[in-house]
Amino acid sequence: MHGLLLGVQKLMIRLWFDKSFSKFSFNVHSAVEKVDERLLSILPTLSITRLPRTIQNHLKYWKASEFRSFLLYYGAPVMFGILDRDRFNHYLNLVNASQILLMNGSTEEKLKNAEDMLFSFCGNFSTLYNKRYMTLNIHNLVHLVDCVKELGPLYTHSCFPFEDKNGFVLKLIRGTQNIDSQIITGNSFIQKLPELKQKCIMKGSDVEKVNNEIKNSQNLKRCTKIENDVYILGAIHSKKIDKDLFALVCDLLQCCPTTDTFNCFNRLEFHGHLIYGLDYARMKKRNNSAIIYSIQGVISFGLVNFFISLNETCIAACIQNIDSKNYDGKSFIVSVILQQSGSLVPLKYIKETCMFFTIKDTGKSYICLYPNNLEGD
């Protein structure tokens, strides 16, 4: 958090866009408005807490999570064509290595690749930028792989969880006297609660339901359970489908239904992932429709328009196809082409969600994969 994000990533953005560095060849301050326009055109997923903010007017207010989003998802696409080729490829080394080090179960080969990229990044930094900006944070990058080998993925020992708890600790303080004792006592009470729950609350009782409602008051209301960890969110409505989609239904079911009207819905909670179809009109500033699915071992991507219930045992996502020929199974940021054609994907083939966005001025579209599904924003 403090080294990689608030240290290295923040430094690089300053070197690129701060006017005080305008005399250097690495500075691209003249393009800051274009970069800001690209950033503001991005519609992130619900898993990204903060919407993108401009560099020119808001960089000094950016939180660590915003630098994280820039490094892992936005940075490479928005800086493409802004940085020269050498500096862009240099930055990609940092991006790709960071994503590998945040993965669950990285292999020795992947860690070696990440280490090579970080050494290349550090080794070329003084040439591409300036030796005077080779700070301790830059040097510490070469030790990140050792940290992962010893302690696990970076998110397991970052400062984000501790920052999240600062607000919680403040709520334990009720006066100006004996603050340390207040914090220790309050924290002891909180740590004791799970044990008290186990002793005093019977599993499956109404009391447990009330406790869970209080504890998870922010959870979305689950409308209809389809299977374990899969829920329809919101209303189900009847929809008359067009002939092209009806042909896809016939192909999927291997027979033609007697009706062209089906029960449809727009939102789904899928094994902890939220999928909002593009037909969900209330979502304006985010795009939570991108999915990864696998049929016969082939990984593909698509944008969900809505979900359709074909019969009691088959629910499918009606998707807009994405051409992902550039995907090599290793990259976390993939240049793709959104197609006009559609497909029906049964829920059993959906693997997880991802992020999709299009850079406004270039028209280039990208899929961004999450390094892991455990780390919060």
| Domain boundaries along the sequence of the chain | 4-160, 224-368
- Residue 279 structure tokens: 């037909």
Structural Rg of the chain based on CA atoms: 24
Reported confidence tier of residue 90, pLDDT bands at 50, 70, 90:
very high
Using alpha carbons, select from 185, 79, 97, 106 the residue that is nearest to residue 144. 97
Residue 262 reports pLDDT greater than 70? yes
Q: How far apart are CA 306 and CA 111, in angstroms?
A: 39
Range with lowest mean pLDDT among 8-12, 220-224, 262-266: 220-224
Average pLDDT over residues 258-263: 92
Reported confidence tier of residue 202, pLDDT bands at 50, 70, 90:
confident
- Which of 338-342's residues contact partners 24+ apart within 8 Å by CB, and which partners? 338/303, 338/365, 342/244, 342/245, 342/248, 342/305, 342/318
Average pLDDT over residues 196-210: 79
Give the CATH fold of the 224-368 domain: SH3 type barrels. (2.30.30)
User: What is the separation of C-alpha 316 from the centre of its chain, rounded to a whole number of angstroms?
Assistant: 24
Q: How far apart are CA 261 and CA 240, in angstroms?
A: 4
What is the structure's pLDDT at 218? 54
Reported confidence tier of residue 175, pLDDT bands at 50, 70, 90:
confident
What is the structure's pLDDT at 128? 95
E strands present in the chain: 224-227, 230-233, 237-240, 261-265, 267-270, 273-276, 290-295, 298-309, 315-323, 333-346, 350-353, 355-358, 365-368
pLDDT digits (tens, 9 = 90+) for 7-16: 999 999 999 9
Reported confidence tier of residue 24, pLDDT bands at 50, 70, 90:
very high
The answer to whether 42 touches 357, Cβ cutoff 8 Å, is yes
pLDDT digits (tens, 9 = 90+) for 125-159: 999 998 999 989 999 999 999 988 988 888 887 77
pTM: 0.84
What is the structure's pLDDT at 244? 93
Residue 214 reports pLDDT greater than 80? no
Average pLDDT over residues 335-364: 93
Reported confidence tier of residue 374, pLDDT bands at 50, 70, 90:
confident
Reported confidence tier of residue 222, pLDDT bands at 50, 70, 90:
low
What is the structure's pLDDT at 219? 56
142-151, 210-219, 346-355: which is most confident: 346-355
The answer to whether 233 touches 269, Cβ cutoff 8 Å, is yes
Q: What is the mean pLDDT of the chain?
A: 89
What is the structure's pLDDT at 313? 85
Using alpha carbons, select from 68, 67, 117 the residue that is nearest to residue 94. 117
Reported confidence tier of residue 180, pLDDT bands at 50, 70, 90:
confident
Reported confidence tier of residue 184, pLDDT bands at 50, 70, 90:
confident
What is the structure's pLDDT at 232? 92
Residue 339 reports pLDDT greater than 90? yes
What is the structure's pLDDT at 227? 86
Q: How far apart are CA 135 and CA 12, in angstroms?
A: 11
Residue 216 reports pLDDT greater than 70? no
Range with lowest mean pLDDT among 84-88, 222-226, 263-267, 318-322: 222-226
What is the DSSP secondary-structure string of 172-189? Answer: T--SSSSHHHHHHHHHHH
Average pLDDT over residues 23-52: 94
Q: How far apart are CA 362 and CA 98, in angstroms?
A: 26
Reported confidence tier of residue 78, pLDDT bands at 50, 70, 90:
very high
Reported confidence tier of residue 220, pLDDT bands at 50, 70, 90:
low
Residue where the block lists tokens 């300036």 = 130
